[in-house]
């Protein structure tokens, strides 16, 4: 299994012969190393409908016949755009050929803004547990700190967690550090920072708040292999 980080909230997972992109916000994202036209994912997983997470999903999925896994309302909207989707909802899990996906709660909003400035409600935001090759990845999506993160970690021991630290729209570094304590993930990677002025943060300072050896700042394009 290969897991790579690509700026903002984008991660790529290559497992069991499948390439998975999570929240592929590429065009308009100065923090990423990716080019949308070069991406050929088999699967796209979306945590919620905000444009800096849906990103280039529609174009990428249309060109590659990618399967989109997303909360029900967001999946329905994307299906109406002629895309192939698998709708899910919070607390639900489904086993695919590549592994199992389970959606967790996240405390945030979720809507998609169209080019003509229409705001489309896209249901509840979510976090994602991806379980494959005996490893568990947790992508928290955009969220505030919440105490049930302890339950998530107890029910699904986490090998690597991607946690937002940007503040303003999500948890800041201090809350994210407490989230890491609740989750008890083996490795914690900060995401959702420095892309826009309101979410400027120093990820190294965040890592210093964690247990020794738990935190890892990943540069765009950097990967971890299990």
Intervals of the chain under pLDDT 70: none
Can you give the pLDDT at residue 164? 98
pLDDT of residue 91: 98
Sorted by sequence, the CB contacts under 8 Å of residue 8 that are 6+ apart come out as: 23, 25, 29, 31, 32, 52, 191, 192, 195
Q: What pLDDT was estimated at residue 136?
A: 98
Domain extents in the chain: 2-216
Cα separation, 54 vs 95, in Å, equals 23
> What pLDDT is stored for residue 18 in this prediction?
98
Q: Which CATH number fits domain 2-216: 3.40.630.40, 3.60.15.10, 3.40.50.300, 2.40.30.10?
A: 3.60.15.10
Both tokens of residue 77? Answer: 């909207």
Return the pLDDT at 149. 98
Residue 57, token pair as written in the block? 């999903």
């Amino acid at each position: 299994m290969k897991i790579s980080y690509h700026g903002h909230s984008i991660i790529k997972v290559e497992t069991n012969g499948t390439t998975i992109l999570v929240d592929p916000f590429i065009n308009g994202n100065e923090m990423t190393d990716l080019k949308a036209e070069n991406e050929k994912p088999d699967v796209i997983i979306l945590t919620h409908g905000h444009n800096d997470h849906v990103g280039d999903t529609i174009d990428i999925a249309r060109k590659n016949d990618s399967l989109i896994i997303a909360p029900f309302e967001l999946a329905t909207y994307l299906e109406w755009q002629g895309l192939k989707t698998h709708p899910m909802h919070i607390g639900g899990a489904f086993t695919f050929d590549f592994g199992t996906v389970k959606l967790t709660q996240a405390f945030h909003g979720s809507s998609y803004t169209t080019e003509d400035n229409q705001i489309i409600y896209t249901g509840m935001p979510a976090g994602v547990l991806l379980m494959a090759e005996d490893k568990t990845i947790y992508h928290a999506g955009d969220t505030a700190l919440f105490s049930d993160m302890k339950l998530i970690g107890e029910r699904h021991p986490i090998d690597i967690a991607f946690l937002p630290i940007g503040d303003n729209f999500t948890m800041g570094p201090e809350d994210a550090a407490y989230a890491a304590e609740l989750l008890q993930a083996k490795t914690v990677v900060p995401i959702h920072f420095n892309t826009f002025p309101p979410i400027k943060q120093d990820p190294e300072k965040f890592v210093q708040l964690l247990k020794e050896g738990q935190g890892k700042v990943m540069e765009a394009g950097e990967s971890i292999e299990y």
